[in-house]
Amino acid sequence: MSHEPKTRPPEPVRFEPRGPLSGTLTPPADKSISHRAAIIGAIAEGPTRVLNFLDSDDTRSSLSAVANLGAMLNPEPRDFMPDEFTIEGVGPGGPRSLGRIDVGNAGTLMRLLPGWIAGYEGGLWRMNGDASIRKRPVDRIADPLRLMGAEIEVTDGRFPPIRIDGRRLHGIEYELPVASAQVKSCLLIAGLQAEGPTTVIEPLATRDHTEVMLEAAGAKIERGQGRVTVWPSPDLKLDEVEVPADISSAAFFMVAASIVPGSEVVLDRIGINPTRTGILSILERMGADIEVEPQAGGEPGQGGEPIGRITVRSAGLRGTSVEGAEVPLAIDELPLVALAACFAKGETVIADAEELKRKESDRIAVVVDALSGLGAEIEATADGMKINGTGMLRGGIVNSHGDHRIAMLGAIAGIASREGVGVVGMDASSVSYPGFESDLRRLS
């Protein structure tokens, strides 16, 4: 007989079918931009005033990493995130050498931060994270950083933990083998203190928040035709960043409002940077009723990101195909496209999206498993999935596998389903959206 203490798996959180969703919501701040504000604010010299930083597990990991590397946060976020705070960056002196950096679940931190620290001679760091992070490849940053002269050891040739032994770097021209904003950003950040220019060539456009923020901080950077070049820019000054609401979080309510009949939801002050709005064009092509009005804000002094109000009313949807250049513009929203496709008429095909296998979970396998368990006609393909829309979902159980976006997908599936959905591992939503359940309750 085993004497192991018995730990019961947590009860699934139930999401029952609901009537129409209505109301106005500003979801939490953008995760990608918050990570960049922490890292670029720490690299810059002097104070950066940060407004509306995302209070989530992932972005708190970024703040503690940069604080441990020598940046000063004032006031320091403790139980709650202040509406605004300053990051006093370390400037050209570079980061403090510190043994260990724990990134938790944050893939963006794991891929961007090495770009900063790898170029500081004399520093020695070991970066690690949770079980999901240890399955996500980092050779994609280690290989090009080594070409720049970095000394990096990874585990089993591909994975965290990683060990970084600071070295002087030199610029390179590098063509990304996969479209990845994280890899592009890592190399641009490394280029800031390398010798000579660093050019990144992208096969397809990916989110450009790093470029926008580096420009705002006065980096010498040139962009055009799938190429970005950064020149050594040791003295950055980032006065202020105002983080808009995250379109990837707003997307849960866009899909919910589209598929729950009679809904009308207004999503206010959302970041509508065109490298992130793939979900809007996909849903519009599916027949969704979406209006976008630009809003004031996002001037260069505030980080330069465009902002808008998005109104979504329920509508009959039809199937579509998503492939090629559209994939990186909606990469984190593709699970939601699959959910919308279950409620659409006809077939939806998502292709060229093999990268989904390398997210917080294998989002091809996990989405197909979750939605087919709820009654969807969905199958995995080598680089995506195919869904035959039946106009409804029965309901059942969704396991988040610790992936925040799968937990929230299960919740939205639940309110739109016939019999409701129980989500196992709902707490994963705190990685990007701690107040998700109460926001959903408020709108329904």
Q: Which region among 180-188, 228-236, 293-301, 368-376 touches ligand S3P (by CB under 6 A)?
A: 180-188
Question: CB of residue 35 vs ligand S3P: minimum separation in angstroms?
Answer: 6
Residues 339-398 that bind ligand S3P (CB under 6 A): 355
Q: How far is the CB of 400 from ligand S3P (least distance, A)?
A: 16
CB of 266 to ligand S3P, least distance (A): 25
Distance CA 53, CA 132 (A): 24
**Min. distance of Cβ 397 from ligand S3P in angstroms?**
25
Cα separation of 125 and 110, whole Å?
Answer: 12
Q: How many residues are given for the chain?
A: 444
Helix axes 57-68, 107-117, angle to 10 degrees: 20
* 38-51 burial: b if 16+ Cβ within 10 Å, else e: bbbbbbbbebbbbb
Considering only 8-16, 178-186, 311-319, 423-431, which stretch makes contact with ligand S3P by CB under 6 A? 178-186
Query: Cβ neighbours of residue 114 under 8 Å, at least 6 residues apart?
Result: 127, 138, 141, 142, 145, 150, 152, 162, 164, 186, 190
Report the alpha-carbon distance of residue 139 to residue 153 in Å, rounded: 9
Q: Which strands, in side-by-side order, build the sheet including 22-25?
A: 22-25, 264-271, 307-313, 289-295
Active site residues: 332
CB-nearer residue toward ligand S3P: 36 or 386: 36
Question: CB of 126: closest distance to ligand S3P in angstroms?
Answer: 22
Token pair listed for 48 = 């950066």
CB of 180 to ligand S3P, least distance (A): 3
Of the residues 66, 90, 152, 181, which one makes contact with ligand S3P according to CB under 6 A? 181
* CA neighbours closer than 13 Å in the CB half-sphere of residue 12: 19
For the bound state, the minimum distance from the C-beta of residue 384 to ligand S3P, rounded and expressed in Å, comes to 15
Q: Does 182 bind ligand S3P (CB under 6 A)?
A: yes
Question: Contact with ligand S3P (CB under 6 A): which of 32, 86, 277, 399?
Answer: 32
Binding residue (CB under 6 A) for ligand S3P from 59, 61, 64, 180: 180
**What is the number of helices (H) and of strands (E) in the chain?**
13, 23
Q: Is 331 in the site for ligand S3P (CB under 6 A)?
A: yes
140 versus 269: smaller Cβ distance to ligand S3P = 140
Nearer to ligand S3P, 339 or 415 (CB): 339
Interacting span for ligand S3P (CB under 6 A) from 9-17, 158-166, 174-182, 316-324: 174-182
Q: Is 108 in the site for ligand S3P (CB under 6 A)?
A: yes
> Residue count at the site for ligand S3P (CB under 6 A)?
10
Q: What angle do CA 291, 297, 299 make, to 5 degrees?
A: 125
Question: 382: buried, middle or exposed (CB in 10 Å: 19+, 13-18, 0-12)?
Answer: exposed
Does residue 59 touch ligand S3P according to CB under 6 A?
no
Helix, strand, coil shares of the chain, percent, nearest 5, are 35, 25, 40
The span of 160-168, 181-189, 269-277, 420-428 binding ligand S3P (CB under 6 A) equals 181-189
With contact defined as beta carbons under 8 Å apart, do 149 and 115 qualify?
Answer: no
Taking CB under 6 A as the criterion, the residue among 208, 242, 332, 333 binding ligand S3P is: 332
Q: Which of 18, 60, 167, 207 binds ligand S3P (CB under 6 A)?
A: 207
C-beta closer to ligand S3P: residue 185 or 348: 185
Q: CB 131: neighbour CB atoms within 10 A?
A: 8
Q: Are 302 and 351 within 8 A, CB to CB? A: no
Cβ-based nearer residue to ligand S3P, 132 or 180: 180
Summarize as ranges the residues that interact with ligand S3P (CB under 6 A).
32, 108, 180-182, 185, 207, 331-332, 355
